[in-house]
Chains A and B, each alone.
Chain A
């Protein structure tokens, strides 16, 4: 019991140390947003909005998909490559949903049999 506690404390301390290191390291990285466009001004005065490419992201994906992923189906490329995290979450939602319904339904089956008796 004591050894388990020590292992848990040590592993939590290691995770905390790595988290602090990651935060310190990330604070030194350059900003991803350059600050060239003022979003509030753009929302107030939309005449400056760049409309030269009306398709937006969809056009970029359709035109550059083949050289980036080589997948003939654009939807598959978006679901499994560009948004791989999203699909991971979706499939784990299904896993948890089925695990939960397994617990509930097997209990309900037992109760139903007891009621019948």
Chain B
């Protein structure tokens, strides 16, 4: 069944399954990123789990909904921001008189706290943000190839030409 704007009606089972799993994947992925220094997991794993939400949105509701819900420009900028943040945190060591990636202020907080272990925590957050935005940007790119062409895209192209 097909509606306007390229939105396709999926099977009710796929749709409800995606709807059920989407909040869990987002919340659990963010939890894994935030508690990377304390419990198993870390930036890479949690970022990919959050990025899977884009795929679930596509599976359940089609490319039109995913495109309207996710701003790809923000994702593209966010990936570069995360990479820059990681380099800046690594350079903290050089600014404070040690070598690159040295953990300078590692004695903040107690062992097992959320904010402890100095730059390790914040490096984990920056890598998580980078992977989250980068992988979901990649998934959106791949979805745009799979999706049928919508009318809006063609109009935009004509304007460009």
Q: Of the listed stretches A3-11, A49-57, A108-116, name the one at the interface; the rest are far from the partner chain.
A: A108-116
Q: How large is the interface on A (under 10, 10 to 19, 20 to 34, 35 or more residues)?
A: 20 to 34
Residues of B within 8 A of A19 (CB): none
Q: Is A38 interfacial (CB 8 A cutoff)?
A: no
Contact B145 A109 (CB under 8 A): yes
Residues of B within 8 A of A71 (CB): 37, 111, 116-117, 120
Which residue of chain A is the closest to B87 with respect to CB atoms?
A: A88
Contact A95 B79 (CB under 8 A): yes
Q: In the complex, how many angstroms separate the beta carbon of B60 from the nearest chain A beta carbon?
A: 23
Residues of A within 8 A of B90 (CB): 84, 88
Which residue of chain B is the closest to A78 with respect to CB atoms?
A: B120
- Whole-angstrom distance between the alpha carbons of A63 and B135 in the complex? 36
Contact B138 A101 (CB under 8 A): yes
- Whole-angstrom distance between the alpha carbons of A77 and B111 in the complex? 12
Contact A81 B120 (CB under 8 A): yes
Q: In the complex, how many angstroms separate the beta carbon of B63 from the nearest chain A beta carbon?
A: 12
Q: How many residues of B contact A (CB 8 A)?
A: 44
- Whole-angstrom distance between the alpha carbons of A106 and B116 in the complex? 42
Chain B facing A: main interface SS = helix
Chain A facing B: main interface SS = helix
Q: Is B7 interfacial (CB 8 A cutoff)?
A: no
Contact B120 A77 (CB under 8 A): yes
Contact A105 B80 (CB under 8 A): no
Residues of B within 8 A of A70 (CB): 106-107, 109, 111, 116-118
Residues of B within 8 A of A101 (CB): 138, 141
Within 8 A of B (CB), among A60-76: 66, 68-73, 75-76
Seed contacts A71-B37, A76-B42; 14 additional CB < 8 Å A-B pairs: A66-B111, A70-B106, A71-B116, A72-B38, A72-B39, A77-B117, A81-B103, A95-B83, A95-B134, A102-B141, A105-B141, A105-B142, A106-B141, A113-B149
Q: In the complex, how many angstroms separate the beta carbon of A91 from the nearest chain B beta carbon?
A: 6
- Whole-angstrom distance between the alpha carbons of A80 and B130 in the complex? 14
- The 8 A-B pairs of least Cβ separation, nearest first, read A84-B101, A71-B117, A80-B123, A80-B120, A70-B117, A71-B37, A105-B141, A76-B37
Q: Is A94 interfacial (CB 8 A cutoff)?
A: yes
Within 8 A of A (CB), among B38-58: 38-40, 42, 44
